[in-house]
């Protein structure tokens, strides 16, 4: 299969590598990268278990790192790629950071706030809206999550 020339797919592959790093640390495998001018400036993956922090989602870690690299909380010239549709907390952070564009892989029908349950990132009542593209490498992103939870059910059976 030829390598994709779609830059969104290339950056989503980088986010998938971050998700794999989370998977290898027994974290829910979600990964994110922040891109400015065609270059990754920040990376993140879920670290809730490691940090014992409910806010340690991939997006939050990547946004914090991007703000540090930019020396500004305003990321209006940045795009965020994440393997799973952001939750309300992360979607709110994307709006507050003024992210230009959100690109995500798998939808999250139970907690997604970018189209599934809500669409915070494009809500006209808020002070910022962003472009969004859903479903980039969706099957790859979904498969990693399915495998993680399948393995979890085998090792941690419900009693």
Q: Which of 59, 68, 85, 139 is catalytic?
A: 59
Q: How many CB atoms lie within 10 A of CB 133?
A: 13
Strand partners, 102: 80, 132
Return the CA Rg of the chain: 15
Q: Does 68 participate in catalysis according to the annotation?
A: no
Query: How does strand 39-45 pair with strand 31-36?
Result: antiparallel
Eight-state DSSP code of residue 2: P
Q: What letter does residue 148 receive in the DSSP assignment?
A: H
Q: How far apart are CA 7 and CA 121, in angstroms?
A: 22
Is the distance from CB of 98 to CB of 75 less than 8 angstroms? Answer: yes
Catalytic residues: 59
């Amino acid at each position: 299969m030829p390598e994709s020339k779609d830059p969104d797919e290339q950056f989503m592959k980088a986010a998938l590598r971050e998700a794999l790093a989370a998977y290898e640390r027994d974290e829910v495998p979600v990964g994110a990268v922040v891109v400015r001018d065609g270059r990754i400036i920040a990376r993140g993956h879920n670290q809730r278990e490691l940090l014992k922090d409910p806010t340690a989602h991939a997006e939050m870690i990547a946004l914090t790192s991007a703000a540090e690299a930019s020396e500004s909380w305003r990321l209006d010239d940045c795009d965020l790629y994440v393997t799973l549709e952001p939750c309300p907390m992360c979607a709110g952070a994307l709006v507050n950071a003024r992210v230009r564009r959100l690109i995500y892989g798998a939808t999250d029908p139970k907690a997604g706030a970018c189209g599934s349950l809500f669409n915070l990132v494009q809500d006209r009542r808020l002070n910022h809206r962003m472009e969004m593209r859903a479903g980039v490498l969706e099957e790859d992103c979904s498969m990693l999550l399915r495998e993680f939870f399948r393995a979890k059910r085998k090792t941690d059976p419900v009693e």
